[in-house]
C-alpha cells in the first residue's frame, strides 16, 4: 500500500475532517492510492443506512436533509451528507450556500458535509458517489444522506447507492406526477410531499395515491408510503424517519437489500473488469497500433469490427 494513502486513512479514521476530505477526493478522481483505499476499507462498508433524497429543483430537499440530519443526530448517529449536482460542473453555487447553512447549524464533529459536481470523475458521477458513500460508511458515519437535484437518468443512477430513496415533491405544479412519468418512481421507496403549508397538498397526495395504486399490487412488493412534511417547521420529519426505517427493515427481511447490493457490486465489477482488460490490451499492443487502427477505419481501409478483431488477435 502507498504510505500516503494509508497514513491519510489513519488520520481520517480519527475524524480529521481534512484527511476525510482528501480520501474522498482521491476516490472521486481515481488518483493513485484510490484502489488501496478501497481495498483497506471495503470490509468496513455496508453498516451505514444510506438515504437518497431526490426530486425537482427547489422542492425543499436541502431544507429537509438539514432537518433529517438534526433528527438522526439527536438519536446519536454520526451523519454524513453528500450533495450531488449532476447539472453543475462546479461544486459551488447553490450547494455551497446549503453547505454553509448546514455547517452553521451543525458545528459538530458528528456531521460531515461533502458536495460533488458532475465533472472530474473518470468513471462517472454515480461511481464516484458510490465510492464517497462507501468511504463515509467505512469511517463510521451511521447515516449517509445523498441529495441529488433533478429527475433525470443521471440522478436515478446516483440514487442506486441508497438503501432507501426518498422522492420529494411539492403541491401544485403537477411535479409529483411529472416525476413519476419521468421514471423516477422506479427508484422511489418513500414519497415526500413537502411544503404542505402551501395550498394543494391534499390534491397532490390524492393524485400520487392514485398514480401509485396503478402500480403492481403484490404482497412481496413494497408500496411507497406518502409522507407529508413542512421542512421549514420540521413537521412530518419524524414520520419520514419512521418511514425510512420501515423501508429499511422491509428491504433487509425481503431480500431487496441483498438484491440491491449484489446488483451494485456486479455493476462495479463489470466496469472495473472492462477497464482493466482495455488497459491490458493497450499495454500489450501499444498506443501506436491503436492510432494506426483508428486511421485505417477513418480512411475506410478497415471496418471497425475487423479492426477490433485484429487488435485482439
Ligand atoms: N413554504 C415552505 N417553504 C419551504 C419548505 N421547505 C423548503 N422551503 C423553501 O423552499 C426553498 C427551496 O428549498 P431548498 O431546500 O433549497 O430546496 P432544494 O430542493 O434543495 O433546491 P435545489 O437543491 O436547488 O434543487 C427555500 O426557500 C426553502 O426555504 C416548506 O416545507 N414550506
Ligand atoms: Mg438543494
Sheet harboring 79-85: ordered strands across? 111-117, 79-85, 143-149, 49-55, 164-169, 190-193, 226-228
Query: Quick check: is 230 in a domain?
Result: yes
Q: What is the total count of domains within the chain? A: 3
Q: Which residues pair with 51 in a beta bridge?
A: 145, 164
DSSP 8-class letter at 2: -
- The verdict on 25 and 137 lying in the same domain is no
| For range 103-125, the mean pLDDT | 78
Query: Quick check: is 258 in a domain?
Result: no
- The verdict on 53 and 151 lying in the same domain is yes
- The verdict on 31 and 177 lying in the same domain is no
Higher per-residue confidence, 311 vs 213: 311
The predicted pLDDT at position 125 comes to: 85
> Which of 53, 54, 55, 58 should be mutated for ligand 1, with most atoms under 8 A from CB?
58
Domain residue limits at 38: 1-43
Identify the band that residue 1 occupies on the pLDDT scale cut at 50, 70 and 90. very low
The predicted pLDDT at position 174 comes to: 61
Query: Quick check: is 278 in a domain?
Result: yes
> Above 90 in pLDDT, residue 185?
no
DSSP 8-class letter at 194: -
The rounded distance, in Å, linking the Cα atoms of 169 and 186 is 15
- The verdict on 205 and 302 lying in the same domain is no
> Above 90 in pLDDT, residue 117?
no
| For range 218-225, the mean pLDDT | 83
- The verdict on 164 and 276 lying in the same domain is no
Please indicate whether residue 97, judged by its CB atom, sits closer than 6 Å to ligand 1.
Answer: no
- The verdict on 49 and 113 lying in the same domain is yes
Ligand 1 atom 17: residue of nearest CA: 60
The predicted pLDDT at position 126 comes to: 87
| For range 233-254, the mean pLDDT | 97
- The verdict on 21 and 67 lying in the same domain is no
Of all ligands present, the nearest one to the C-alpha of 81 is 2
Higher per-residue confidence, 261 vs 214: 261
- The verdict on 110 and 190 lying in the same domain is yes
> Which of 52, 63, 145, 171 should be mutated for ligand 1, with most atoms under 8 A from CB?
63
> Above 70 in pLDDT, residue 237?
yes
The predicted pLDDT at position 122 comes to: 65
Please indicate whether residue 60, judged by its CB atom, sits closer than 6 Å to ligand 1.
Answer: yes
Calculate the average pLDDT of the chain: 88
CATH code, 207: 3.40.50.300
Q: Among residues 209, 225, 253, which one ends one of the domains? A: 253
Please indicate whether residue 195, judged by its CB atom, sits closer than 6 Å to ligand 1.
Answer: yes
> Above 70 in pLDDT, residue 95?
no
- The verdict on 51 and 195 lying in the same domain is yes
Contacts for 86 with CB less than 8 Å, ≥ 6 apart = 118, 125, 148, 149, 150, 152, 154, 155, 158
- The verdict on 94 and 236 lying in the same domain is yes
Q: Could you tell me the distance, in angstroms and rounded to a whole number, from the CA of residue 240 to the centre of ligand 2?
A: 18
Neighbours of 218 (CB within 10 A): 8
Please indicate whether residue 232, judged by its CB atom, sits closer than 6 Å to ligand 1.
Answer: yes
- The verdict on 190 and 286 lying in the same domain is no
- The verdict on 227 and 247 lying in the same domain is yes
| Cα of 111 vs its chain's centroid, Å | 18
> Above 80 in pLDDT, residue 228?
yes
Long-range (24+ apart) CB contacts under 8 A made by 251-256 are: 251/163, 251/164, 251/189, 251/222, 254/220, 254/222, 256/222
Atom of ligand 1 nearest to the CA of 85: 23
> Above 70 in pLDDT, residue 47?
yes
Maximum Cα interatomic distance, the chain, rounded to a whole number of Å = 68
pTM for this prediction: 0.89
The rounded distance, in Å, linking the Cα atoms of 17 and 111 is 10
Share of the chain above pLDDT 70, in %: 86
| For range 129-135, the mean pLDDT | 95
The rounded distance, in Å, linking the Cα atoms of 56 and 202 is 19
Amino acid at each position: 500500500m502507498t504510505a500516503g494513502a494509508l497514513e491519510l486513512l489513519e488520520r481520517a479514521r480519527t475524524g480529521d475532517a481534512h484527511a476525510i476530505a482528501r480520501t474522498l477526493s482521491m476516490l472521486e478522481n481515481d488518483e493513485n492510492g484510490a484502489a488501496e483505499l478501497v481495498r483497506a476499507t471495503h470490509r468496513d462498508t455496508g453498516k451505514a443506512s444510506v438515504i437518497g433524497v431526490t426530486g425537482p429543483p427547489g422542492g425543499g430537499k436541502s431544507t429537509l436533509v438539514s432537518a433529517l440530519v438534526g433528527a438522526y443526530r439527536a438519536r446519536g448517529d454520526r451523519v454524513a451528507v453528500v450533495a450531488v449536482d449532476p447539472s453543475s460542473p462546479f461544486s459551488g453555487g447553490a450547494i455551497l450556500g446549503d453547505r454553509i447553512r448546514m455547517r452553521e447549524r451543525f458545528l459538530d464533529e458528528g456531521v460531515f458535509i461533502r458536495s460533488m459536481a458532475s465533472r472530474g470523475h473518470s468513471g462517472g458521477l454515480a461511481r464516484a458517489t458510490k465510492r464517497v458513500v462507501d468511504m463515509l460508511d467505512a469511517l463510521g458515519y451511521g447515516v449517509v444522506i445523498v441529495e441529488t437535484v433533478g429527475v433525470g437518468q443521471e440522478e436515478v443512477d446516483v440514487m442506486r447507492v441508497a438503501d432507501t430513496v426518498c422522492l420529494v415533491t411539492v403541491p401544485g405544479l403537477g411535479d409529483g406526477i411529472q416525476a413519476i412519468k419521468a421514471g423516477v418512481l422506479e427508484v422511489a421507496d418513500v414519497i415526500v410531499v413537502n411544503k404542505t403549508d402551501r395550498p394543494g397538498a391534499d390534491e397532490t397526495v390524492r393524485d400520487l395515491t392514485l398514480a401509485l395504486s396503478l402500480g403492481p399490487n403484490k404482497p412481496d412488493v413494497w408500496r411507497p408510503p406518502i409522507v407529508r412534511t413542512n421542512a421549514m417547521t420540521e413537521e412530518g420529519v419524524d414520520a419520514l424517519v419512521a418511514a425510512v426505517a420501515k423501508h429499511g427493515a422491509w428491504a433487509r427481511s425481503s431480500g431487496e437489500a441483498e438484491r440491491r447490493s449484489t446488483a451494485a457490486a456486479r455493476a462495479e465489477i463489470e466496469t472495473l473488469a472492462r477497464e482493466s482488460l482495455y488497459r491490458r490490451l493497450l499495454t500489450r499492443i501499444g498506443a501506436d497500433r491503436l492510432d494506426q487502427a483508428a486511421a485505417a477505419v477513418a480512411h475506410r481501409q478497415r471496418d471497425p469490427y475487423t479492426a477490433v478483431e485484429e487488435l485482439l488477435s
